[in-house]
Amino acid sequence: MAAAAVKSARISVVIPVLNEAGYITRTLDRLQAMRRRGHEIIVVDGGSDDETMAVSHSLADRLIQAPRGRASQMRAGAAVANGSVIWFLHADAIPVDNADSLILNALARCDSRWGRFDVLLSRDRFMLKVVAWLMNLRARITGIATGDQGIFIARVLYEKVGGIPAMPLMEDIALSRTLKRFSRPAVIKQKLASSPRRWEEHGIARTILMMWGLRLAYFFGVAPARLAKYYAVNNA
């Protein structure tokens, strides 16, 4: 895709949700400026039993249902997306108002056809700043992006690699590994703020050890289904 075409491309923002009524409104509010500029917002629900879908109704272009599971929901959202760029965003992310221009400019000026943001955990605590710094450093060294970092992909490449891998955990790692065969990711240094709730609920040190342990186990070939069961038990 030529640089001029990239800059005028339409972005489809795909947001998988499950009982996110407390967060999704804030995220969708921050995307309304993009929506007014012609981009598309797709909320994919995995079976919420709270007000998630009701509060999202007027703030999204499409609300769809999919089997529970982040990968399943992301695949479903991408399948109905109309944009030539797909941006996967977590329900508790806080994007900047000009995220669309940042994404399109990054794709236009780089050889990459995919990329990510640097992440910021949205609390002013020293240890959370360290966690975010380590996440961004790891991603720079490895070229592997995680869902917290707002992965965006040119639709042509997304379809070429077969989309999001259908797996119960580590779908972002698996996708990044595949995309790296084509190019390193474009990196947007302007931060994508993310809720630190996971770190605060379960403890920073414990969460770091668990997430790095899961990734190490996945690297050594432990099945994602087994990892998903462990993750579910330890995050109940």
Number of domains in the chain: 1
Q: Is residue 175 part of a domain?
A: yes
pLDDT tens digits, one per residue of 30-42: 999 999 999 999 9
Domain around 102: 3-196
Q: Would you say the pTM of this structure is higher than 0.75?
A: yes
Q: Which residues of 17-42 are buried (b: 16+ CB within 10 A; e: fewer)?
A: bbbbbebbbebbebbeebbeeebbbb
Q: Is residue 44 part of a domain?
A: yes
Q: Is residue 82 part of a domain?
A: yes
Q: Is residue 225 part of a domain?
A: no
**Alpha helices for 57-125 (secondary structure H):** 70-80, 99-109
Q: Is residue 43 part of a domain?
A: yes
Q: Which of 103, 102, 83, 80 is nearest to 152 (CA)?
A: 103
Residue indicated by tokens 């598309």: 40
Low-confidence stretches of the chain (pLDDT < 70) are: 1-7, 123, 235-236
Q: What is the CATH number for 106?
A: 3.90.550.10
Q: Which of 149, 202, 198, 206 is nearest to 173 (CA)?
A: 149
